[in-house]
Amino acid sequence: MMVPTFKQQFEASQKKSARFSIRFVAFVLAFSSSLSPALLLPNCLQEDDEKLPGIIQQRLRLKTPAKDKLLHRLEKDYVKLLKQSRDPKALLEAEYLLETTNDNTHWTNYSKATQILRRTRDKAAIPLLLWYIVEHSKRSSCHVMIPEYARTISLISGHQVDSPYVAGPNLENRMRSKVDVIVKQWWSKEMGRLETAIEELTDAQLRVIVSNLLKDVRRNGDFNGSGGKPNSAYFAYHNVYYRIINSSSSDRYELPELHPVMITLVLEPSGYGQAVKGTAKRFPYEVIPILSKLAENGHRKKIEAIADDREQNSSVRMVCVYSLFRAGEVLRTEHLIEMLKEETNLENRLINLLSLRWGGEKAVPVLLSYMEDPNIEIATAAACALMDAQPDEALPKFRKLLDRNHYHAPILLLSSLSSYKTATSRAILADLLEKSLDGTSNKQHLGRILSAFMDACDLPRPRSKQGEDRTEEHARLALSQYQQRVSEMEVLMRNLSATVDSARTQLKIAREIEVLRRKEYKRLLILQGDNIVTAEQTRVSADRLETIVAEVKTIRSQLEQAEARLAALKNAE
């Protein structure tokens, strides 16, 4: 049996309310049952409630028994605020999702509900979520749900509500006690005067929201470098290329409504405006999606001014540069190169170098110079950033870097070099594979080197049975296939080069003949005019000229085709 959608429920309730007023239904029920009218018409209903949409009128009837004082109070607060809501439909949809959250098929409904509530920023969401902190303490995933509800309350209200969840027995009773404290100490006092509209928030509220927002984005953005160690090129590589620029992962968290005053607030933890300059303890990746969203929403000028401000520390300026780039602007290459010269923080240097991948021609000589850095992490980051430009000058630098006997597998260097797909890059990898195979160096990384070599040469990957290690056998086979291809390529290149040389010689001779026959034809035309030669002689000369012209054209076409094939082969090396 299919569960009706919220839209279907909404339309059905509207049809129902069009036929009967809520007061009339209550009146009929009161006189047709033993229940008193007072129980059927809770004190949430007021004189003007019949003017409300039917779906709201229907929800004004309380579900929680009065004997459950805490939840009854929270539900009363919720329906009271529901009547004042700017978007009651969204609230009711979120409530429906919370109500239908279970331990199996619809266990993620809670997350959909909190997304709606964060987006609408309605005060009625606060008692609703406090209510479900208790209700969902019975759910198997309550350790995820309850902290989410507390964070959402903080983001809506600007009042810090820490998660009350602590694993252990009697969880529901403990949640009731903690929610009761929140209601008595905070919510009951703030309900009447609390503002949640983003433009009405106080500075203190905004700071609470920003603090929680930064934590949420960092947690959901997964800025852990794909398991790499901190201050490594691998760690920075994954964060820059798969989190900062390719934003699919860091965008999993839906940002709530943002206010331009947040621009400086989100940067304060990174040292914005501090008298003592210095980089942040860790790079604030989480700031970038927020500032990028603000830039997209028309608040670029302030972010641009901070990016240009040399008085700010490098972390602050860098996140502003990346935020603008992510929002569609051209990367500020000059800013990054300028900061790189004075940067001492290793993490910032790695991030800066990797981002210069999009720095254009100005970045190439800088990256080439950093490939010679004594720090292998710095040199690796610079090499990775050249994967699009692929200058020939980088190849001997790759050879020097890979000639080291690496303690850890040089995965990024191997991957970057294999993308070049030139004769030189393949020769470097072939040499590295041979040394690894015979144990001269990097024997422990044979599998990684083999994989990069096969990618560079577009070789098919042989299959092995589960648990079977045939790496050395496959490495020898790959080298044999490579050498065979190289030999075949050399033969083909020699043949094509000879064809090109021959065609060029033929074309040169044919052009010389064309020049002579053209002169002969012109001379005969003059002699024919003086009645010295016949028209037949001139016509024969014209035919011979036409033949050689056609031959020149044919030879030129053959030469162009041969040269194109030769060039293609050289490019494919």
**Helix ranges restricted to H, 461-534:** 471-529
- Is 505 inside a domain boundary? yes
Cα–Cα separations (whole angstroms), residue 55 to 77, 82, 343: 18, 11, 60
- Is 55 inside a domain boundary? no
- Is 515 inside a domain boundary? yes
Tokens of 373: 């850095």
Question: How buried is 400 (Cβ within 10 angstroms: 0-12 exposed, 13-18 middle, 19+ buried)?
Answer: exposed
- Is 553 inside a domain boundary? yes
**Which of the residues in the chain have pLDDT under 50?**
1-3, 6-7, 10, 13-43, 250
- Is 555 inside a domain boundary? yes
Q: How far apart are CA 179 and CA 171, in angstroms?
A: 12
- Total residue count of the chain as it appears in this document: 573
- Is 41 inside a domain boundary? no
DSSP letter string, 370-403:
HTT-SSHHHHHHHHHHTTTT--TTHHHHHHHHHT
Q: Tens of pLDDT along 212-251?
A: 999 999 988 888 888 888 899 999 999 999 888 766 554 5
Q: pTM of the entire structure?
A: 0.77
Per-residue buried b or exposed e for 432-441, using 16+ beta carbons within 10 Å of the residue's own CB:
bbebbbeeee
Q: For tokens 């965008």, what's the residue?
A: 251
| pLDDT for position 536 | 93
Q: How far apart are CA 380 and CA 397, in angstroms?
A: 11
| C-alpha radius of gyration, the chain, whole number | 37
Q: Which long-range contacts (CB under 8 A, 24 or more apart) does 23-32 make?
A: 23/50
Q: How far is CA 200 from the centre of its chain?
A: 32
| pLDDT for position 49 | 62
CA quadruple 390, 395, 401, 402: dihedral positive or negative?
A: positive
Task: Identify the CA nearest to 64 among candidates 55, 51, 74.
Answer: 74
3-state secondary structure 148-179: HHHHHHHHHHCCCCCCCCCCCCCHHHHHHHHH
- Is 542 inside a domain boundary? yes
- Is 349 inside a domain boundary? no
- Structural domain range at position 553: 490-572
Count of structural domains, the chain = 1
| pLDDT for position 409 | 87
Secondary structure tally for the chain: helices H, strands E: 27, 0
